[in-house]
Amino acid sequence: MTAAAHTLPVAAPVAAASASQPGRVAWLALPGAGYLVLVFALPLAVLLATSFQNEQGQFSLAGYANFLSDSYNALVVWNTLKIAVVVTGVCLAIGYPVAFAMARASLPVQGLMFLSLILPLSVGVIVKSFAWTILLRSNGMVNQLLMTFGLVDEPVKLLFNERGLVIAAVQVFLPFMVLPIFTVARQIDSRMKEAAFTLGATPWYAFLRVTWPLSLPGVVTGCAFVFSMAVSMYVIPALLIGDRYQTLPALMARAYLFMRDRQSGSTMAVMLLLIAVVIVVGSTLLTRRLQARTQTAGAAA
């Protein structure tokens, strides 16, 4: 009884301090939140308001009406989404085995693989795009290697078409696919796959029923990263394809820089932002659902 009486006065201040701790920690987020509001939220609000203003500064829906009624804009949106989907798919096909190889590699090999992924991020996109224009031209290294190994008889046209654009974009965005999958892959217990083998599962069946479901949160996150960046890329298409293949960012830049049409450019920017937001929000909800399902399955097992 005496011990309890001495413990209660001590426990009360500790409980009060822990209750006030979240409020104090919240103040630490104020500088970062203020910075995001100033340099991100406020410009987006101005952009959204501009899309509803005509040249006289009056409220108008003409920008959205003109954009949605033009069949050429529909073709541009299709080109943008198609390239983003293809780039995301190729990054997933290449990045998935690379991520698992990194997760299972020894520390020295893992460090070298990390270096090979992170080091290209220090080089600007413009520099890498110009480098790809040199590598992919008719007498470039890529065509020379293809002809040296007898894969082709004459140079393949890889510039000013979708193939060259996909090759360059995959090289730029591949790390953003590998790293999320690697983060999830390193947490997957390899003994689960071995247990599936002992129960008579084939390697393909074990992959589909064990490895793939457990790695889906990383896959969804990586696909969201790559797709959101591929759908808004401007420099890579501008340097590797030019005006022959219009995408939504290129059309938006032309409206701002050459036509001086702020409402049309803002409308395209809002549409592009809407696509990216839908992808990011949808992937976040899907990732949470997959994680909850994985945790439920683990608890049941």
Task: Parse the chain into domains and list their residue ranges.
Answer: 1-51, 62-300
Cβ burial of 193 (10 Å; 0-12, 13-18, 19+) is: middle
Question: What's the N-to-C CA distance of the chain in angstroms?
Answer: 44
193: closest CA among 185, 180, 293, 216?
185
- pLDDT score at 98: 95
Query: CA–CA separation, 33 vs 35, rounded Å?
Result: 5
Judge contact between 225 and 178, C-beta under 8 A: no
Judge contact between 279 and 228, C-beta under 8 A: yes
- pLDDT score at 22: 61
Judge contact between 50 and 266, C-beta under 8 A: yes
The C-alpha angle with vertex 182 and arms to 176 and 119, in degrees rounded to 5, equals 50
Chain segment 253-262, per-residue pLDDT in tens: 888 888 888 8
Query: What is the rounded average pLDDT for all residues in the chain?
Result: 84
- pTM score over 0.75: yes
Q: Please state which CATH class domain 62-300 belongs to.
A: mainly alpha
